């Protein structure tokens, strides 16, 4: 039996190898795609026991499994190997014959499947198929003749099963039994019909039908049924030569497998194409091709050709570049003016550009409007079109003071106690403003509320960093307003206001250092310290969260300060739990982590692609990074700890031809001026 299986498997492997060879020799369009599938289903038996499944429900089946390996031979034909394993069985009860069996069956072979490709759409998702093949079948059949206690089954005419035959003299002592369906007796070993040690194997022809559903990504789902026509009548151990009531018919035993399987196809097309499209030359041939090939036919090998696509017929130099006799940057073969004066600007055809052409091109570029151009003179100009400007949004606010030399500690605390205090820096002057209102009446109400608290101020308009006088508008609006004014600040009396102080510095810092902090408040004290604050909170947890954010931006000296009724108070008074002593007096402290301050060399800023010659210089310099902004992309070199190191790198960059490079500062990814970086590092 095992020799037959080995022979079958060997034949199958040889056949599969032949299928692969056939697939590989097919057209380029249809390439080898090995497919592997695993599935589950059910076996149904058609033989002597059970009268070839007559009268049985199709659901009376036993579990089976299938393994398949295949490949497409042509677009319409598939071939492969398969194996199935499971159980067959049947039970027959009657007045004359009571037989049963269960067999463990294993099959293996090859098959061919046709998919009706010529009749279906090429982009189909579901396709039917029919198949036929050849296989080896092994079976091991057993029958259930005794119960678990070894008592033989005797089938009585009343339909019961007992331990004594109905015709026995002591039949009255018979005990009724129930089948245990354990199938303990080997059919061949029983030799009930005198067949001897027959072979429990056979050849068979599997005939199948089903459908394949393409899931995508190389996967497909197959539903199908295969009818196995065997060449043996001994699977159930009953033939036409069986004795007495066991005798069957002359038909062979058959069985059917129906199931579903999931398959995956390995795409070897890419590897095949790579082999077909890849170079087929020897290393020596490749060397000859590289060293001597001349694609543009200019007489200079591609290996030495610095201008690989020279126009046909152009005279070239030893480097393969077209000759340019007049040195205007346009090759002679494309130059419509071969004797251009030295230094004269030219167009793309090498023709000199006159002053009038320059003027006309510039005016067209600038879109300057009504312009009459007369050769040699500009005769008249119409009204000039002004470039579009984005006007800053106007808001209204209350100006409560300004400072150039510095303010006292008491004044500072009073300002910081106002929730919506803001500062506007104009040169050396810091303006103190309160609120930001889209409409003028809101600012007027705020002014009246501040006045009730003893703080005078005037309503102004703010556009960007400019404060504008709107006294006349204020008078007109006040005339139409009622006297019932609600003060925002009166409701804040007695409440605690929390802010985050970023630091106190001996030298005033550039606003670039505080990029991304929109609510920055800058106060310059009469003690020479400039303090920076951010945030307005009444909840300690939110203030603490904002402090953590500022620490993450590099302001290592950030801390929370509290104010109430125009005075600074301790955090303990504000309700925070404090461990250790707390000082309310500011000292000059660098609030920025100096380890985050670096220097870089700015190489340039470009809109669009970097010119090729400049990119070559960047590559030579090395260690180049870029930062993309709203209007352009800026390129930087290096990452230096000191200004001296950056200046040394700057000289090296300028020596390579980038003469307009300069040194900038970097604060944790924010570009600042080099002078600002110097100030940060010089702070105590």
* β-sheet with 662-667: strand ranges across: 624-628, 633-640, 597-606, 662-667, 670-673
Q: Do domains 2-137+186-270 and 395-569 have the same CATH topology?
A: no
pLDDT, mean of residues 14-19: 47
Residue 26 has pLDDT above 50, yes or no: no
How much is the mean pLDDT over the chain? 80
CATH 3.40.190.10 is the classification of domain 2-137+186-270: no
Signed CA dihedral, 124, 128, 134, 135: sign only: positive
Reported as a single tens digit per residue, the pLDDT across 74-90 is: 999 999 999 999 999 99
Enumerate the β-bridge partners of residue 401: 432
Name residue, tokens 């600007």: 345
Could you give the C-alpha distances from 601 to 201, 278, 663, in angstroms and in order? 85, 45, 4
Angstrom distance (rounded) from CA 236 to CA 223: 28
- Residues of the chain with pLDDT > 70, as a percent, come to 80
Which pLDDT score, from 0 to 100, does residue 371 have? 39
**Sequence-distant (≥ 6) Cβ neighbours of residue 361 within 8 angstroms:** none
HEC profile for 169-210?
A: CCHHHCCEECCCCCCCEEHHHHCCCCCCCCCCEEEEEEEEEE
Q: Is beta strand 35-46 parallel, antiparallel or unpaired with respect to 633-640?
A: unpaired
Could you give the angle at the alpha carbon of 435 between the alpha carbons of 433 and 439, nearest 5°? 115
Q: What is the dihedral of CA 508, 512, 517, 518, to 10 degrees?
A: 90
Please say whether the beta carbons of 296 and 309 come within 8 A. Answer: yes
Reported as a single tens digit per residue, the pLDDT across 105-136 is: 999 999 999 999 999 988 889 999 999 999 99
Which pLDDT score, from 0 to 100, does residue 22 have? 46
Which string of DSSP letters, residue by residue, matches 142-169?
EE--B-TT-PBPEE-TTS-EESS-TTST
- Among the ranges given (30-44, 202-216, 338-352, 361-375), the one the predictor scored with the smallest mean pLDDT: 361-375
Reported as a single tens digit per residue, the pLDDT across 492-537 is: 567 888 898 887 777 777 777 787 787 888 888 887 788 889 989 9
Highest mean pLDDT among 128-132, 335-339, 641-645: 128-132
pLDDT, mean of residues 418-438: 87
Residue 444 has pLDDT above 80, yes or no: yes
pLDDT confidence of 591, banded at 50, 70, 90? Answer: low
Which pLDDT score, from 0 to 100, does residue 25 have? 43
Angstrom distance (rounded) from CA 123 to CA 454: 84
Which pLDDT score, from 0 to 100, does residue 575 have? 74
One of 2.40.128, 3.30.70, 3.40.50, 1.20.144 is the CATH number of 594-682, namely 3.30.70
- Among the ranges given (1-10, 411-420, 456-465, 599-608), the one the predictor scored with the smallest mean pLDDT: 1-10
Which pLDDT score, from 0 to 100, does residue 381 have? 35
Q: Supply 629's token pair.
A: 């902004």
Class of domain 395-569: alpha beta
Which pLDDT score, from 0 to 100, does residue 684 have? 66
Which pLDDT score, from 0 to 100, does residue 406 have? 80
Reported as a single tens digit per residue, the pLDDT across 147-161 is: 989 999 999 988 899
**Which DSSP symbol is given to 346?**
B
Q: Supply 128's token pair.
A: 């039917």
Closest listed residue to residue 41, CA positions, set 194, 280, 210, 195: 210
* Stronger pLDDT, 516 or 240, i.e. the higher one: 240
* Stronger pLDDT, 221 or 279, i.e. the higher one: 221
Query: Hey, where are the domains in the chain?
Result: 2-137+186-270, 145-180, 355-384, 395-569, 594-682
* Stronger pLDDT, 419 or 51, i.e. the higher one: 419
Residue 430 has pLDDT above 60, yes or no: yes
Phi, psi for 189 (deg, rounded to 5): -65, -30
- Residues of the chain with pLDDT > 90, as a percent, come to 30
pLDDT, mean of residues 414-438: 87
Could you give the C-alpha distances from 341 to 61, 326, 350, 357, in angstroms and in order? 99, 8, 11, 17
Residue 487 has pLDDT above 80, yes or no: no
Please say whether the beta carbons of 434 and 397 come within 8 A. Answer: yes
First to last CA, the chain: 95
Q: Supply 49's token pair.
A: 């026991």
HEC profile for 251-311?
A: CCCEEEEEEEEEEEECCCHHHHHHHHHCCCCCHHHHHHHHHHCCCCCCCCCCCCCCCCCCC
Which pLDDT score, from 0 to 100, does residue 647 have? 93
Reported as a single tens digit per residue, the pLDDT across 187-229 is: 999 999 999 999 999 999 999 999 999 998 889 999 999 999 9
Q: Supply 60's token pair.
A: 């009376």
Q: Supply 579's token pair.
A: 């461990």
Which pLDDT score, from 0 to 100, does residue 570 have? 81
Q: pTM for the full model? A: 0.41
Q: What is the dihedral of CA 278, 282, 287, 290, to 10 degrees?
A: -30
Closest listed residue to residue 532, CA positions, set 494, 552, 506, 563: 506
């Amino acid at each position: 039996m095992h020799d037959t299986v080995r022979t079958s498997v060997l034949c199958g492997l040889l056949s599969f190898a032949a299928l692969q060879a056939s697939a590989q020799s097919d057209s380029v369009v249809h390439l080898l795609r090995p497919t592997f599938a695993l599935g589950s289903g059910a076996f149904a038996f058609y033989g002597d026991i059970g009268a070839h499944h007559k009268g049985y429900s199709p659901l009376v089946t036993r579990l089976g499994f299938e393994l398949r390996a295949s490949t497409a031979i042509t677009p319409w034909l598939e071939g492969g190997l398969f194996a199935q394993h499971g159980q067959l069985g049947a039970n027959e009860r009657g007045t004359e014959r009571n037989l049963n069996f269960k067999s463990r069956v294993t099959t293996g072979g090859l098959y061919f499947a046709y998919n009706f490709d010529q009749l279906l759409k090429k982009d189909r998702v579901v396709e039917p198929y029919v198949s036929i093949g050849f296989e080896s079948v092994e079976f091991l059949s057993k029958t259930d003749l005794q119960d678990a206690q070894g008592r033989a089954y005797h089938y009585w005419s009343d339909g019961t099963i007992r331990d004594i035959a109905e015709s026995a003299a002591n039949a009255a002592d018979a005990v009724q039994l129930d089948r245990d369906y354990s199938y303990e007796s080997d059919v061949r070993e029983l030799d009930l019909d005198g067949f001897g040690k027959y072979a429990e194997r056979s050849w068979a022809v599997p005939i199948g039908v089903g459908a394949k559903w393409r899931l995508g990504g190389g996967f497909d789902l197959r539903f199908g049924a295969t009818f196995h026509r065997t060449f043996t009548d001994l699977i159930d151990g009953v033939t036409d030569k069986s004795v007495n009531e066991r005798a069957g018919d002359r038909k062979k035993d058959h069985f059917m497998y129906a199931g579903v399987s999931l398959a995956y196809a390995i795409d070897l097309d890419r590897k095949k194409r790579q082999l077909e499209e890849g170079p087929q030359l020897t290393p020596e041939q490749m060397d000859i091709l590289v060293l001597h090939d001349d694609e543009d036919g200019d007489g200079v090998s591609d290996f030495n050709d610095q201008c690989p696509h020279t126009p046909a017929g152009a005279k070239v130099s030893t480097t393969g570049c077209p000759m340019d006799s007049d040195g205007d940057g346009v090759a002679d073969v494309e130059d419509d003016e071969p004797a251009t004066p030295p230094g004269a600007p030219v167009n793309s055809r090498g023709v000199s550009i006159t002053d009038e052409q320059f003027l006309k091109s510039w005016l067209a570029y600038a879109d300057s409007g009504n312009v009459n151009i007369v050769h040699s003179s500009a005769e008249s100009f119409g009204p000039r079109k002004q470039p579009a400007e984005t006007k800053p949004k106007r808001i209204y606010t209350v100006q409560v003071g300004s400072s150039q030399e510095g303010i006292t500690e008491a004044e500072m605390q009073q300002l910081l106690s106002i929730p919506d205090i803001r500062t506007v820096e104009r040169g050396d002057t810091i303006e103190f403003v309160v609120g930001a209102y889209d409409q003028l009446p809101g600012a007027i109400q705020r002014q009246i509320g501040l006045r009730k608290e003893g703080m005078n101020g005037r309503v102004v308009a703010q556009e960007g960093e400019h404060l504008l006088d709107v006294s006349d508008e204020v008078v007109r609006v006040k005339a139409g307003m009622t006297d019932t004014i609600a003060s925002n600040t009166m409701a804040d009396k007695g409440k605690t206001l929390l802010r985050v102080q970023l630091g106190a510095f001996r030298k005033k810092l550039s606003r670039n250092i505080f990029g991304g902090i929109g609510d920055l408040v800058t106060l310059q004290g009469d003690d020479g310290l400039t303090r920076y604050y951010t945030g307005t909170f009444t909840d300690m947890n939110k203030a603490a969260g904002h402090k953590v954010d500022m620490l993450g931006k590099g302001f290592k000296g950030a801390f929370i300060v509290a104010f109430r009724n125009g005075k600074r108070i301790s955090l303990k008074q504000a309700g925070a739990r404090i461990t250790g002593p707390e000082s309310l007096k500011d000292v000059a402290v660098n609030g920025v982590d100096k380890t985050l301050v670096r220097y870089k060399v700015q190489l340039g800023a470009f809109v669009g692609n970097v010119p090729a010659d400049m990119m070559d210089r960047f590559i030579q310099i090395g260690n180049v990074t870029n930062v993309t902004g709203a209007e352009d992309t800026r390129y930087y070199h290096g990452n230096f700890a000191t200004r001296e190191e950056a200046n040394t790198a700057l000289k090296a960059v300028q020596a390579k031809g980038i003469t307009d490079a300069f040194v900038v500062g970097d604060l944790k990814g924010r570009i600042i001026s080099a002078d600002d970086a110097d100030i940060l590092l010089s702070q105590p």
